Amino acid sequence: MTNTLFVVSECAPLVKTGGLADVAGALPGALAQHGVAVRVLLPGYRTVMRQIGKPKVVARYRNLFGGSAKLLACKVAGIDLLILDAPHLYDRDGAIYGDATGADWPDNAERFAALCKVGAMIAAEGVDGWTPDIVHGHDWQAGLTPEYMHALGVTTPFVFTIHNIAFHGNTDAGALHALGLDPARFTSENFEFWGQISALKAGLVGAAKINTVSQTYAEELLTPEFGIGMDGILRARQADLSGIVNGIDLDTWNPATDPNITPYKSPTGKAANKRALRKTFGLGPADGPLCVLVSRLTEQKGIDLLLDALPALLEHGGQLALLGSGDPKLEIALLEAADRHENLSVKIGYDEALSHRMMAGGDVILVPSRFEPCGLTQLYGLRYGTLPLVALTGGLADTVINASPAALARGVATGIQFFPITAQSLANAFVRLMDLFNDSKTWKAMQRNAMKQPVGWETSAAAYNDIYTNLIAARG
């Protein structure tokens, strides 16, 4: 049995802002099939504390970055959790990373340094009779963990997963003392980045192995365009860098048993869900495909490109039902476009149950991202026979088989990819989509292909287990 500690800032079903939470919630169960016992160290946000019942107190901290704290052990949805209950850091109104206006919390450096420091202490001392063989950090919020491990003399291997390299967790160098970091290690070889403390860089430098969430994204990160300042470090660590594509929870996302929809096992069963989805979004019948999009509304996700390309879809009989929130300017632009087009309906916000109904009722799931480390919505789409139309980047390139003439001839296509990632290219993809949708035989074959794709965690969990096993063996 391999004991592994996840250090992570969000975990479904307790708290979620994106795909990171889904990974943290689903991967432990998949790893258990390989003899890996995972405990997930998670901040005790207000929303988390409301869902954990009466946990066991397993450690106390007198002064953790400005206040007392407790470490709580409990189990939720089959996940073994260690909750860092530090009210002065996590018990507040607003979102987990920022306030109600969308601004980052000014003490985010301390909030997530606390998480990292407790992770390091667990590695050093164990907790409640349990000691990790591997510490596995996720994104910048866990990046300082190896620094604190180093300060404590801990040699437990640290694995670092990059879910999105765009966020560095940088803070002013004046915070060195407040964060309890060694000033002698504030160098370009360690966690100094252009005069600032970089939590992400600390994780990249301190990790025994680094991985990201698709093979294509791992290769993209080695370039200045996608590496966002960290490409040089990653090129230097290329021998320790790998790409392991994410999976999805096949029980939660299962069209045959999903309680949110009219269940189905084949593409023909989507018809009832499509009718229901049109009613939910106030859309009438149409000759073209019903596209859906569930996303943060940002330029990274290509929403501005979508706005420019929409006429190629809507003026030829296609429809779009959209659920998301994000950049206020994009929200307003989408709502204004919906006022002008009867075949476009927009709901601002997020609704987990509705996202399931959209996967079941849509013909096509749109993912026009400028970059996408892995992406999960296209995997949900494949599972539900909702064909992905995606940009050719990152995990979208690795998980969708483009409907090229060769792939169609071999009968293996599962969706549509477009490149370059421009509004015109997306508009061209909508034209291709119309042609495919109007060929009902080809369309049904693609839907069947999609629903057969392996989108679970089996292969990826085995790859993570290999990393753990090799690190433990090398340690001796």
Tens-place pLDDT, residues 112-142 = 999 999 999 999 999 999 999 999 999 999 9
pLDDT computed for residue 384 by the predictor = 98
The answer, yes or no, to whether residue 444 has pLDDT greater than 90, is: yes
At residue 102, the pLDDT reads 81
Q: Where are the beta strands (DSSP E) in 255-318?
A: 290-297
For residue range 66-89, what is the model confidence (pLDDT) as tens digits?
999 999 999 999 999 999 999 999
Whole-angstrom distance, CA of residue 346 vs CA of residue 122: 46
Q: How confident is the model at residue 101 (pLDDT cuts 50, 70, 90)?
A: confident
Neighbours of 279 (CB within 10 A): 11
Over residues 104-108, mean pLDDT? 96
Residues 324, 296 contacting (CB under 8 angstroms): yes
Tell me the CATH number for domain 2-247+457-475.
Answer: 3.40.50.2000
For residue 244, what are its two tokens? 């392991």
Average pLDDT of the chain is 97
Looking at residues 290-298, what average pLDDT do you find? 97
Confidence class for position 100, pLDDT limits 50, 70, 90: confident
What integer is the mean pLDDT of 49-66? 96
Confidence category of residue 391, pLDDT binned at 50, 70, 90: very high
Of 64, 161, 67, the closest CA to residue 121 belongs to: 64
State how far the Cα of 83 lies from the Cα of 65, in Å rounded to an integer. 16
In the chain, CATH 3.40.50.2000 covers 2-247+457-475, 267-452
Extract the annotated binding site for ADP-alpha-D-glucose.
Answer: 16
How is domain 267-452 classified at the CATH fold level? Rossmann fold (3.40.50)
The vertex-119 CA angle with 117 and 122, nearest 5°, equals 110
Average pLDDT of the segment spanning 266-282: 97
Q: Which residues, including other chains, have CB under 8 Å from residue 145's CB and lie 6 or more apart?
A: 7, 116, 119, 120, 135, 137, 158, 203, 206
pLDDT at 205: 98
DSSP-derived 3-state class of residue 343? coil
Please report the beta strands in 139-220, taking only residues with DSSP state E, as ranges in sequence order.
Answer: 158-162, 170-172, 192-193, 196-198, 209-212
The whole-number pLDDT of residue 16 equals 92
Please return the burial class of 420, using the count of CB atoms within 10 Å of its CB with bins 0-12, 13-18 and 19+.
exposed
Q: Please tell me the pTM assigned to this model.
A: 0.93
Give residue 18's pLDDT.
85
Task: Write the pLDDT tens digit of every residue in 363-387.
Answer: 999 999 999 999 999 999 999 999 9
pLDDT (tens digit per residue) in 4-18: 999 999 999 999 988
**Parallel/antiparallel/unpaired status of strands 319-326 and 192-193:** unpaired
Distance CA 30, CA 176 (A): 38
H-state helical runs in 33-107: 46-49, 87-90
Which parts are annotated binding residues? 16
Separation CA 72–CA 45 (nearest Å): 13
pLDDT of residue 475: 86
**pLDDT tens digit sequence for 198-218:** 999 999 999 999 999 999 999
- pLDDT digits over 153-187, tens only? 999 999 999 999 999 999 999 999 999 999 999 99
pLDDT over 80 at 476, yes or no:
no
What is the chain's length? 476
**Token output for 78:** 């089959």
Strand order across the 79-85 sheet:
56-61, 69-76, 79-85, 36-43, 2-7, 134-138, 158-162, 209-212, 241-243
